[in-house]
């Protein structure tokens, strides 16, 4: 599951099309709908801390967990600049540990799609339930099967910038519901036009919503809602990203 090594240093550069402020505002709206306006919040798969920082700006006490030391290095540099009191932990979300419970848990940017086995996803859900306060919320997003099948599929994406370039070769196995993308990065190594080549392979799995609901119930969580991303409407057949809201209801 380990990813985002060489990509970590330029992740924010190539993700500058993401409106993280809008994403964080949407999460805050979801929390508000279920009565959570403050408290301790854990972000699973926090990456470079973009969302973590924004929620801290809004008054939430934040903990960020990621299994990439390189991504957390970037997040901690942001923390040093902002002065935010954020705790970052280098842990695998499939076996994370906290010293106490939290009011809410979030996971965005398709971090849950990186969990490739249903049994491992169930363990993440069980841990989430275990570390939530009574009635606490677990909010996470997922790339949909539609996105993997119809949008990503067998596709090549490429981008060339002065600060670096990448080529993303995507492959999707519809029978296994497994998405693979091979990422090739060319990052400047000096000011003389020399580039260092890096290669990473990432895997994600698409999940049917029926499976997600079943796993949440098995984990002791109560399924509350699923939304088409950044709306409060039910997902469409062509929704590319969805948000799921679950609530702690039994330990």
> Which residues have a Cβ under 8 Å from the Cβ of 219 and sit 6 or more positions away?
122, 125, 126, 128, 129
**The domain spanning residue 122 has which CATH number?**
3.40.50.150
Q: Tell me: do 17 and 113 sit in the same domain.
A: yes
* Total tally of structural domains belonging to the chain: 2
Q: Read off the DSSP letter of residue 211.
A: H
Q: Read off the DSSP letter of residue 151.
A: I
Name the 3-class secondary structure at 245.
Answer: strand
161 domain residue, yes or no: yes
pLDDT of 2: 47
pLDDT of 87: 98
Closest C-alpha to 215, from 207, 226, 225? 207
Consecutive H or E run containing 70:
helix 69-82
1 domain residue, yes or no: no
> Which residues have a Cβ under 8 Å from the Cβ of 112 and sit 6 or more positions away?
45, 121, 124, 140, 141, 142
Q: Read off the DSSP letter of residue 234.
A: P
Range of the domain at 171: 147-204
Q: Read off the DSSP letter of residue 111.
A: G
pLDDT of 194: 79
Consecutive H or E run containing 42:
strand 40-44
Q: Tell me: do 45 and 111 sit in the same domain.
A: yes
Q: Tell me: do 121 and 16 sit in the same domain.
A: yes
Q: Tell me: do 89 and 116 sit in the same domain.
A: yes
Name the 3-class secondary structure at 181.
Answer: strand
Q: Which residues are 224's β-sheet partners?
A: none
Q: Tell me: do 159 and 89 sit in the same domain.
A: no
Q: Is the dihedral of CA 36, 42, 46, 51 positive or negative?
A: positive
CA angle 195, 164, 79 (to 5 degrees): 115
Residues of the chain with pLDDT under 70: 1-17, 190-192, 251
- CA distances for 205 relative to 17, 31, 157, 202, angstroms: 23, 26, 19, 10
Closest C-alpha to 73, from 1, 9, 3? 9
Q: Tell me: do 32 and 132 sit in the same domain.
A: yes
pLDDT of 141: 98
Q: Tell me: do 69 and 160 sit in the same domain.
A: no
Name the 3-class secondary structure at 125.
Answer: helix
d(Cα 238, Cα 114) in Å, to the nearest integer? 21
pLDDT of 200: 85
pLDDT of 188: 77
pLDDT of 239: 98
């Amino acid at each position: 599951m380990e990813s985002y090594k060489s990509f970590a240093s330029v992740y924010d550069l190539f993700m500058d099309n993401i409106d993280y402020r809008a994403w964080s505002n949407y999460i805050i709206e979801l929390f508000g709908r279920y009565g959570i306006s403050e408290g301790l919040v854990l972000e699973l798969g926090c990456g470079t801390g973009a969302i973590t920082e924004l929620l801290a700006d809004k008054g939430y006490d934040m903990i960020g967990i990621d299994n990439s030391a390189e991504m957390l290095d970037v997040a901690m540099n942001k923390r040093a600049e902002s002065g935010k009191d954020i705790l970052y932990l280098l842990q695998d979300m499939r076996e994370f540990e906290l010293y106490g419970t939290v009011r809410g848990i979030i996971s965005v940017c398709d971090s849950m799609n990186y969990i490739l086995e249903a049994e491992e996803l169930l363990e993440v859900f069980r841990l989430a339930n275990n570390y939530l306060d009574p009635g606490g919320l677990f909010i996470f997003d997922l790339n949909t099967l539609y996105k993997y099948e119809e949008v990503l599929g067998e596709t090549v994406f490429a981008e060339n910038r002065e600060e670096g370039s990448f080529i993303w070769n995507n492959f999707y196995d519809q029978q296994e519901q497994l998405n693979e993308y091979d990422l090739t990065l060319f990052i400047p190594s000096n000011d003389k036009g020399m580039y260092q080549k890096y290669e990473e392979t990432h895997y994600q799995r698409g999940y049917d919503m029926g499976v997600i609901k079943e796993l949440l119930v098995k984990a002791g969580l109560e399924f509350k809602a699923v939304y088409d991303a950044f709306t409060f409407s039910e997902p469409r057949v062509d929704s590319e990203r969805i948000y799921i809201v679950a609530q702690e209801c039994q330990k």
